[in-house]
Structure 1
Amino acid sequence: MTDPADGQAGSDGGHIDSFDDLDIAPRVRQAIADVGYESPSPIQAATIPPLMAGRDVVGLAQTGTGKTAAFAVPILSRIDPTARHPQALVLAPTRELALQVAEAFGRYSSHMPEVRVLPIYGGQSYGVQLAGLRRGAQVIVGTPGRVIDHLDKGTLDISQLDHLVLDEADEMLTMGFAEDVERILAETPDSKQVALFSATMPSAIRRLAQRYLHDPQEITVKAKTATAQNITQRYLQVSHQRKLDALTRFLEVETFDAMIVFVRTKSATEELAEKLRSRGFSAVAINGDMAQAQRERTINQLKNGQIDILVATDVAARGLDVDRISHVVNYDIPHDTESYVHRIGRTGRAGRSGNALLFVSPRERHLLRAIERATRSTLTEIGLPSVEDVNAQRVARFADSITENLGSDHLDTFRQLVENYARDKDVAMADIAAALALETRDGGFLMAPDPPEGERGERRERSPRRSSGGQFATYRIAVGRKHKVSPGAIVGAIANEGGLTRGDFGNISIRDDFSLVELPENLDNETLSSLRHTKIGRNPIDIKKDHGPPRTRGGAKRGGGHGRDGYGKRSDSWGKRSNPRVAGRGRG
């Protein structure tokens, strides 16, 4: 079984052939059957039995092995639907993962209407979460920061908890949630069952397991990373600024039936789909905010040829199986190899050949190498389609449209009109044909030549620094070195509460009693209001735009000197260039 919240199933594990061989609740087994799963994945076969027996478990597994069902199925099988208090708490490092896990719990409890599952995460209003808690949710799936907020407010009681899951524990600790996780663990009863899942086992995770788990069974499952042999894999090295132009050119010169274009965020699906439509392509966005009825309608349109391009996130494309998908484009490179394997697995179905294209910026080449190592395959580099290639295709399509219309039943009517016009106005037939073609195609039918490389480079050099959503601005937060704050903690807290992504962070400079963080200049008031109440540890960050250090009477900024900032204090700085881990964390 491959869990939709995770991706491709693992390659190692137990030898249980059917969910009927597992001692799970009949209503849960029925829900699994409804989804269409027949046999458990290796980690499910290895993990469900000890969890059903009440043992603590440490699972070493990558995203993509089916681990969500590995803990959701036994929890739902052992839950008391009549008790209206939190019985299970799943901690996840990001809001996206929290939502994926909550959705999975919802699927597996579809025949248990009395069971309520509530995701709580930063960026969502407290009102929705408070209402859900008052109604009595038995399963809480949350990010550490927001769970701590509810504990502080007294709105979440975990004193009667039976099950606790730490999902992607290494990611949580890397993002600076160690103190929050330990605080949450300390407020839970000793009698609870704990399941800890991590891709790696660093010393911090080992210590956590030794301190809070009782005689855990350790399970290691490796994910399958091999890609299908019938998929041609290529990559194009292109800067972020030229991605849209590159995709447009690729769509014009490549022959494809249907295509999925993968991006990282929900907002990017809508934005890119709109830009493609404005360029004449039949593109529609599909993301996690889409209602199920609308999602099904969109997929049916893709199946029957009404639309040709889906712009999707990983979550939205899970379970998508459409035979006519001939191409997958990774517009945004995935940051883990399992996501890449899962994405390109949408093409090359039913024995057909498929095509996968990966966009790689110069700074992302290390991710390309990681994908090649993990998949044991070499991607072929291609160049950006030239202006000449694009124009040749446009001319060929124009000629094809003429040939197609020559066979129309309505040709005689329009021939008579054109002949009358040519006779009355004394205009050559070729000029009339050109004028009619201009009516259906704008004057920019052929692409202009590319500017010389030097000119493109000069324009980029003068461009201001930009985030994924626009220009950066510097924000000041009220935590610094004396609060023992780390860049990972800053990124984790702000990303989760503000709904930001890795591309929304620039440099982070930590000072003695405050820090400076580069974030999108156009953060809306709602996001800023949410972030002002965010805490790192127990300290509110009180975020606000930074207007620089005070000026002297002569107008110059105070400070300066080697190793000092404009505030006259020595600073520790981290940025995308000097410490890529800072920019690589904080999936909101």
Structure 2
Amino acid sequence: MSTTFSDLGISSAINKSLIDLNITEPTEIQEKTIPVLLSQKDDFVGLAKTGTGKTAAFGLPLLQLIDTTKNTIQAVVLVPTRELGQQIVANLESYATNLPEMSIASICGGTPIKPQIERLKEATHVVVATPGRLIDLIKRGEINITTADYLVLDEADEMVTSLKDGLDKIVAVLPKTRRTLLFSATLPGTIKQLIQNYMSKHVTQVSADMNTVGNQGIDHHFVVVEPIEKLEVLMHFLASKEGERGIIFCKTKAAVNKLAKNLAINRFSSGALHGSLSQGIRDRIMEQFREGHINTLVATDLAARGIDVKEVSYVVNYHLPDTFETYVHRSGRTARAGAKGLSLSVIQEEELDHIPDFEEALGLQFNELKKPDALSIEENNTVLWAKKMFKTKPNRDVSPALKDKVKTVFHHLTKDELIEKLLASYIASQQKPVADTDIKKPKKKKKRD
């Protein structure tokens, strides 16, 4: 018989909310974490891959440990991005539907600060914050976290940069008796240093299925291409995944914009996501992606932090990441909550030597995909051309007289005949003309004396 949340010590009120959410069986990280957080007082480090239920692992016991008779902030949850913060608040609120007195506030950057200041004037038990916004509110004297019993650092390995200068300021305000809970998908040196500097000597550490760092539900592939082939090979792959949701990662904002534009030109349902976009635009694109209005997200690593969207069936590394940890986080956007997924890296010949390094460091096996041949690419491009034509809106500026003249030319053709001619015209237009220099001219015979 499988373990239940009640077996782990979760209260009946919270358990009722979980049943209503159809969450009945704890994941490995939840099974290992919840009893420890409920029964012990030590600081805690939880290692688990992205998408394995870390929010519930700390969120459920945290809600149970809060004393709602006190109108003070008792828990501070730090997150790397506003998007992740919003998701955690939504999750915590859904777990607390049968705890009517529980009050949870989001105080993340990227939104106006005044409504957050007004919200903090109300009774608040849990705040979910990005480091920068929390420090801003502390400086303004608009938040009191001196009564907090718990500090949670979620996705700590993705938050190291933003924590670098700010954690000292936050910790200085928190009581020394607080309990610190850290959750991460990887354990690089920077996180080990953070644990040493900011957590007590008595730290309980658990890890869930970390024999391989990457999610076991993901198939890892790579395809070797020439630079000039990269876009066409990608579009061939995307065409094979029509109707499925996926995320394509690029190294820079410029690369994201360029690729998103090329995909839009070829009528792929896609959107761009990077740090230079306003928060409003980013929110709108993420909402369209979650709702299925766009199927493909082109993003930088920074902008994609905290994205938790179900049914992302594939991830594409359009540029290979610089670090192994980044690869883990990228690929972890697919195969969430026990689902299957695919991670494809589109690489060039000179990057091939990096694949064994990723395999060794992450304990993964990468399989090479055969690059589509020229005929397959050509056929895919033809289908894309047809889809582009199908989605082209009529030009209302064309005069009726001109339309009639064109209709007269085609009126005797059947639909199939018209398609045949359009297809032949397109294929002919794609054929490269033979340059004069390519034509070998016959050598002139020398005149004999």
Corresponding residue number in structure 2 for 1:148: 135
Of 314, 317, 320, which aligns to 2:311?
A: 320
Is the 1:263–1:332 contact (alpha carbons within 8 Å) kept by the matching residues of 2?
A: no
Provide the aligned length of Structure 1 versus Structure 2. 388
Corresponding residue number in structure 2 for 1:233: 221
Query: Could you list the per-position Cα deviations for residues 503-546 of structure 1 after superposition, in whole angstroms to 9, with x for gaps in the alignment?
Result: xxxxxxxxxxxxxxxxxxxxxxxxxxxxxxxxxxxxxxxxxxxx
Structure with the larger RCO, 1 or 2 (CA within 8 Å, 6+ apart): 2
- Give the C-alpha shift of residue 105 in structure 1: 2.2
After TM superposition, the structure 1 = structure 2 runs for residues 280-319 of structure 1, keeping only pairs within 5 Å, are 280-281=267-268, 283=269, 289=283, 298=292, 309-311=295-297, 318-319=309-310
After TM superposition, the structure 1 = structure 2 runs for residues 393-404 of structure 1, keeping only pairs within 5 Å, are 393=380
- Give the C-alpha shift of residue 88 in structure 1: 0.7
Is the 2:68–2:101 contact (alpha carbons within 8 Å) kept by the matching residues of 1?
A: yes
- Give the C-alpha shift of residue 295 in structure 1: 6.8
Corresponding residue number in structure 2 for 1:38: 24
- Give the C-alpha shift of residue 340 in structure 1: 1.5
Find out whether 1:383 has 2:377 as its counterpart.
no
**TM-score normalised to the size of structure 2?**
0.67
Q: Could you tell me how far apart the structure 2 residues matched to 1:444 and 1:21 are?
A: 66
Of 26, 33, 36, which aligns to 2:12?
A: 26
Q: Could you tell me how far apart the structure 2 residues matched to 1:425 and 1:96 are?
A: 56
Query: Could you list the per-position Cα deviations for residues 349-376 of structure 1 after superposition, in whole angstroms to 9, with x for gaps in the alignment?
Result: 6xxxx86533346797687545534353
Of 53, 56, 63, which aligns to 1:66?
A: 53
Q: Could you tell me how far apart the structure 1 residues matched to 2:428 and 2:259 are?
A: 22
Find out whether 1:262 has 2:247 as its counterpart.
yes
The structure-2 alpha-carbon separation of the partners of 1:269 and 1:186, relative to structure 1 and needing over 3 Å to count, comes to same
Q: Could you tell me how far apart the structure 1 residues matched to 2:351 and 2:42 are?
A: 39
The structure-2 alpha-carbon separation of the partners of 1:311 and 1:317, relative to structure 1 and needing over 3 Å to count, comes to farther
Corresponding residue number in structure 2 for 1:181: 167
- Give the C-alpha shift of residue 139 in structure 1: 1.4
Q: Could you tell me how far apart the structure 1 residues matched to 2:86 and 2:101 are?
A: 20
Matched letter for residue 378 of structure 1: F
Q: Could you tell me how far apart the structure 2 residues matched to 1:74 and 1:107 are?
A: 14
- Classify the secondary structure of the residue corresponding to 2:109: coil
- Give the C-alpha shift of residue 249 in structure 1: 4.1
Corresponding residue number in structure 2 for 1:7: none
Corresponding residue number in structure 1 for 2:43: 57
Of 76, 82, 106, which aligns to 1:119?
A: 106
- Give the C-alpha shift of residue 34 in structure 1: 3.1
Of 330, 339, 358, which aligns to 2:345?
A: 358
- Give the C-alpha shift of residue 36 in structure 1: 2.8
- Classify the secondary structure of the residue corresponding to 1:175: helix
Query: Could you list the per-position Cα deviations for residues 161-197 of structure 1 after superposition, in whole angstroms to 9, with x for gaps in the alignment?
Result: 121112344554x426345213322212233332233
The structure-2 alpha-carbon separation of the partners of 1:81 and 1:449, relative to structure 1 and needing over 3 Å to count, comes to farther
Query: Could you list the per-position Cα deviations for residues 246-300 of structure 1 after superposition, in whole angstroms to 9, with x for gaps in the alignment?
Result: 4234446x5x5533331359x999996775454244x25599836999777638x
- Work out the percentage of aligned pairs sharing the same amino acid: 24
Q: Could you tell me how far apart the structure 1 residues matched to 2:434 and 2:339 are?
A: 37
Structure 1 unaligned segments of length 5 or more: list them.
1-14, 300-306, 400-420, 453-588
- Give the C-alpha shift of residue 228 in structure 1: 5.0
Matched letter for residue 245 of structure 2: I
The structure-2 alpha-carbon separation of the partners of 1:433 and 1:61, relative to structure 1 and needing over 3 Å to count, comes to same
Is the 2:33–2:46 contact (alpha carbons within 8 Å) kept by the matching residues of 1?
A: no
Aligned CA-pair RMSD? 4.9
Q: Could you tell me how far apart the structure 2 residues matched to 1:99 and 1:137 are?
A: 16
Matched letter for residue 358 of structure 1: S
- Give the C-alpha shift of residue 242 in structure 1: 7.0
The structure-2 alpha-carbon separation of the partners of 1:129 and 1:396, relative to structure 1 and needing over 3 Å to count, comes to closer
- Classify the secondary structure of the residue corresponding to 2:246: strand
**TM-score normalised to the size of structure 1?**
0.53
Q: Could you tell me how far apart the structure 2 residues matched to 1:17 and 1:57 are?
A: 25
- Of 105-114 and 143-152, the range deviating more from structure 2: 105-114
Q: Could you tell me how far apart the structure 2 residues matched to 1:170 and 1:242 are?
A: 34
Of 337, 340, 343, which aligns to 2:331?
A: 340
After TM superposition, the structure 1 = structure 2 runs for residues 148-167 of structure 1, keeping only pairs within 5 Å, are 148-167=135-154
- Classify the secondary structure of the residue corresponding to 1:90: strand
The structure-2 alpha-carbon separation of the partners of 1:316 and 1:93, relative to structure 1 and needing over 3 Å to count, comes to closer
Is the 2:77–2:128 contact (alpha carbons within 8 Å) kept by the matching residues of 1?
A: yes
The structure-2 alpha-carbon separation of the partners of 1:99 and 1:332, relative to structure 1 and needing over 3 Å to count, comes to farther
After TM superposition, the structure 1 = structure 2 runs for residues 152-551 of structure 1, keeping only pairs within 5 Å, are 152-169=139-156, 172=159, 174-175=160-161, 177-198=163-184, 199-200=186-187, 202=189, 204-209=193-198, 212-213=199-200, 215-223=202-210, 225=214, 227-228=216-217, 233-237=221-225, 244-251=231-238, 254=240, 256=241, 258-264=243-249, 276-281=263-268, 283=269, 289=283, 298=292, 309-311=295-297, 318-320=309-311, 329-331=316-318, 335-337=326-328, 339-340=330-331, 343=334, 357-360=344-347, 368-369=355-356, 371-373=358-360, 374=362, 376-383=364-371, 386=374, 388-393=375-380, 433=417, 437-438=421-422, 447=430, 449=432
Corresponding residue number in structure 2 for 1:514: none
After TM superposition, the structure 1 = structure 2 runs for residues 100-111 of structure 1, keeping only pairs within 5 Å, are 100-111=87-98
Of 119, 135, 138, which aligns to 2:125?
A: 138
